[in-house]
Amino acid sequence: MSNIAEGSCNCGHIKFQIDVVPKDVYVCHCSICRKSTGSGGIAVTVVDNDKFSWLAGQNAIKTWYKPGHDWETSFCQYCGSPLPGKNDQASTYIPVSLFDSGHENLRLKKHIFVDSKASWEELP
């Protein structure tokens, strides 16, 4: 896989790369993303699974599956950073704040699940 973009968790223990130039950013405001990040939502980009690979630290990844839902969230067991994950069999979502390189072309495309946004949050 050619190294197009790389990212890591806050402590640097977990590293990944993608073999595609990330462009579109989606900010998810669903209650699951809000609670898993402790914020108004999470900004992610989405890539095909075959374009994503872990470089280091896979043994430090912890994953939580929401009961009764087809959803998972992963985080670093050392620093708690939210990590890339899968919502389906075809694609991986990546929190864009994890990118260390290759993120220069990222642009906000859409806010999603805005009907679930926090009552205090004002969107443009």
CATH of the domain at 82: 2.170.150.70
In this predicted model, what pLDDT tens digit does every residue of 24-61 receive, in sequence order? 999 999 888 898 888 999 999 999 999 999 999 999 99
Reported confidence tier of residue 76, pLDDT bands at 50, 70, 90 = very high
Share of the chain above pLDDT 70, in %: 98
| 39 contact partners, CB below 8 Å, separation of at least 6 | none
Question: 124 lies in a domain?
Answer: no
Residue 95 lies in a domain: yes
Residue 76: phi and psi, rounded to 5, are -75, 130
pLDDT tops 60 at residue 1: no
Assessment of whether the complete model's pTM goes beyond 0.75: yes
For residue 24, report the phi and psi dihedrals to the nearest 5 degrees.
-90, 135
Q: Edge-to-edge strand order for the sheet containing 91-95? A: 85-86, 91-95, 42-48, 24-28, 107-112
In the chain, the number of structural domains is 1
Number of H helices, E strands in the chain: 1, 12
